[in-house]
Amino acid sequence: MNDHCATCAAFNQLEQMGLTLDDFDRVVALAGNPNTGKSTLFNALTGLKQHTGNWPGKTVTRAEGGFEFNGVRYKLVDLPGTYSLLSASQDEEVARDFILFGQPDCVIVVTDATALERNLNLVLQVLEITDKVVVAVNMMDEARRKGLDVDPRALARDLGVPAVPISARTGEGLSALLRTMAEVIEGQIRTQPRRVHGTPAFQRAVAELAAEIEAAIPGIPNARWVAIRLLDGDERVRQALLNDEFPQLIARQRQADVRFSNKISLEGRQ
């Protein structure tokens, strides 16, 4: 599928563009559990100094930065950590709304190699709603220190999407990650995400409801997810539908609203 060439110097193809976001070709989101190193990866790729730290819950707002790789300009969106797409606290909602309604060209799910099982819950949930996923298996150095052998090939095979071992702090594996990301976006890598489907009756119900939602709100991404939440009786999603909040919600994700700023990184501290 792809060769993880960790030694070649593809890094010189990366150009950190900091806050230059005027004219980007692709949008990439960084998702993942809290404290898996999303902001560290964000800084490594954009050259910005989003405050990072060994602390779950550092990032509570969305930070945006830019980089160029092989001549393509990317907007990178650093999201707050979240354990699940079902959760309710405000920081997690920011992450969930962007993954669902921000229509990123690719979601990089950053996972902690030392706590893979817990991290995979979110990966599987993201796989439920989008094909364009790359799993970054971060903290490989720490996993080695802890005596864990993590096999990204087995992971990629089971998940049906690429899994790239990286260590965001040292920069190990970043060029392979970017190459894989580009190939997924451009369709050179065809993903076949593993999906947990549920019973046939459930699938039928979801499909039926999703079709109606799509008819009612033209252009809504992830109508399936909305359908599942409605079947589940999620009160907030019901209200959002009744008050016609979805078009606004989608529009809000497209605005370059919460750009990276020193103020946010300090006060969101972060």
**Where does this chain bind another protein (CB under 8 A)?**
34-35, 49, 51-57, 60, 87-91, 113-114, 116-118, 120-121, 123-125, 142, 145-152, 154-155, 158-159, 169, 194, 196, 198-199, 201-202, 205, 208-209, 212-213, 216, 227-228, 230-233, 238, 241-242, 244, 265-270
φ, ψ for residue 17 (rounded to 5)?
-115, 5
Q: How far is the CB of 185 from another protein (least distance, A)?
A: 24
Q: How far is the CB of 38 from another protein (least distance, A)?
A: 13
Angle between helices 235-242 and 246-254 (to 10 degrees): 90
Q: Is the Cβ of residue 10 or residue 19 nearer to another protein in the bound state?
A: 19
Helix or strand (DSSP H, E) at 142: helix 140-145
The residue type at 130: T
Q: Is the Cβ of residue 139 or residue 184 nearer to another protein in the bound state?
A: 139
Q: How far is the CB of 96 from another protein (least distance, A)?
A: 13
Q: Is the Cβ of residue 77 or residue 264 nearer to another protein in the bound state?
A: 264
Rg (CA), the chain: 18
Angle between helices 152-159 and 116-129 (to 10 degrees): 30
Q: Is the Cβ of residue 12 or residue 90 nearer to another protein in the bound state?
A: 90
Q: How far is the CB of 200 from another protein (least distance, A)?
A: 11
Q: How far is the CB of 115 from another protein (least distance, A)?
A: 9
Q: How far is the CB of 88 from another protein (least distance, A)?
A: 5
Residues 6 or more apart in contact with residue 15 via CB below 8 angstroms: 67, 68, 69
CB 35 within 8 A of CB 112: yes
Q: Is the Cβ of residue 10 or residue 148 nearer to another protein in the bound state?
A: 148
CB 213 within 8 A of CB 228: no
What CA–CA distances, in Å, run from 211 to 129, 146, 217, 222, 244? 15, 48, 10, 11, 17
Q: How far is the CB of 15 from another protein (least distance, A)?
A: 22
Q: Is the Cβ of residue 25 or residue 195 nearer to another protein in the bound state?
A: 195
The residue type at 197: H
CB 52 within 8 A of CB 45: no
Q: What is the DSSP letter of 73?
A: E
Closest alpha carbon to 1 in 163, 244, 210: 163
